[in-house]
Amino acid sequence: MMATTPSEIIDNGILPRLPAKSLSRFKCVSKKWLALISSPEFIHQHLTYAANSTSNHLLILTKSDHNLYLFNIDMPETPAFKLPSFGIDPLVVGSCNGLLCIQSYRPYCLVVLNPSTGSYKEIPTLLPPRRYSALNFGFGYDFRNDDYKVVRIVDRSPSMGFLSHRVDRIVHVYSLNSNSWEVIEWIPPQDSMGGCQNGALINNHLLHWKFWSLQEGKYRIRCFDLCEKQWTNDVPLPDCMIMSSNSHSRLLDFGVLDGCLYLSDKNLEQSVVDIWVMNEYGVKQSWVKLFKISDSSVFQSLRVSPVAYRSLSHRVLLRMTVNKTEHKILWYDIKGEEIAESGEINGVVDCVWVDVCKGSLIYVPRGSQIGTTKQDEEKEAISAT
């Protein structure tokens, strides 16, 4: 007699480790699997596995056709597929627990979407001001109130006139629970920020942005706590990186790589780009140089961001800004210290930007479902039994 795998091992040991998109399809296998995969306990268990896994990375590709595509980096033979469009020129402004926050234009809107399940919610429109120098977003999870939140930071010039130099910084926070925006801060800023940077998310509730301190003449990384809805202590930078305008290094970018904050630093003395990671959040001494990139084309870029890492092949996927209009995606061989291959991803040769998230079954609170309704799923499950 052929041995069979106990259902308990399948339900609790195998299924929670599978990709979210596969599990979404498995709901129609039977009523039992529909109930299991839809249960809050299973969704939480799957999210825990996904968060602690070095795999299950989903790439969100922005192609030159101004559409977003989803690609599973651990299943390179599976082609990328187009995500639903909510407007023209979509842009990922944040990701958390497998959910994406996407900004689109014409019509201008923000949407929270789970690309693995099709669950989504449109956020009430908060139009940008007419005159602004920076408009940036962050997206994360307030675990104390079980609430997903969006942060919008805008530096605007409220006064008319050529000689007007007044700038106001307005920080808004949107809550999915209340489905409303709230003004958290409205003050003249003491520093400046770039106009195209997403909040770097650590521990799901700590968002970080890069600012240039006008008084000190150096960069600072500020942290906003979604639970407290306020700014906290700055993130300490490594001693060997003097972020002044006269230094021998220059901060190219910062973000999150495998759960840790990273810095990409242009080392002008050695003509290389150094990638630093903070192994223990908030501890200055835990900054270590992960690897360096000696390729000249990378060194000449305006922005260099490692977005994903293949440990078996020792390759890192780099996202680079060549100039204001040109971007590149490529794989870099850390051991060989050379470009391993272009960023072509299963035929997607015209990718101009890439973001990364984890696949999950999290349902967007008070959201809707693209394509298939809950009643349709139940009908499919009944017909499968």
The terminus-to-terminus CA distance of the chain in angstroms comes to 25
Q: Is residue 258 within 8 Å of 310, Cβ to Cβ?
A: no
Provide the pLDDT for residue 5.
53
Provide the pLDDT for residue 372.
53
Long-range contacts of 311-320 (CB under 8 A, 24+ apart): 311/54, 313/340, 315/340, 316/291, 317/59, 317/73, 317/343, 317/354, 318/293, 318/343, 319/353, 319/354
Sign, CA dihedral 343-349-352-358, equals negative
Three-state helix/strand/coil letters over 293-351: ECCHHHHCCCEEEEEEEECCCCEEEEEEECCCCCEEEEEEECCCCEEEEECCECCECCE
Residue-level pLDDT, tens digit, the chain, 385 residues: 334 555 666 666 678 778 888 888 888 888 888 888 888 888 888 888 877 776 667 889 888 778 898 888 777 778 888 898 888 889 999 999 999 999 998 888 999 999 988 999 999 989 888 888 889 999 999 999 999 999 999 998 776 555 456 789 999 999 999 999 999 999 998 888 877 789 999 999 999 999 988 787 888 899 999 999 999 999 998 876 654 444 545 888 999 998 899 999 888 888 899 999 999 999 999 999 999 998 888 888 888 999 888 766 788 888 888 887 778 888 888 888 888 766 667 767 677 788 988 889 999 988 898 865 545 544 444 444 4
The span from the CA of 173 to the CA of 96, in Å, is: 16
Map residue 284 onto helix, strand or coil.
helix
Provide the pLDDT for residue 163.
47
- Does the pTM of the predicted model rise above 0.75? yes
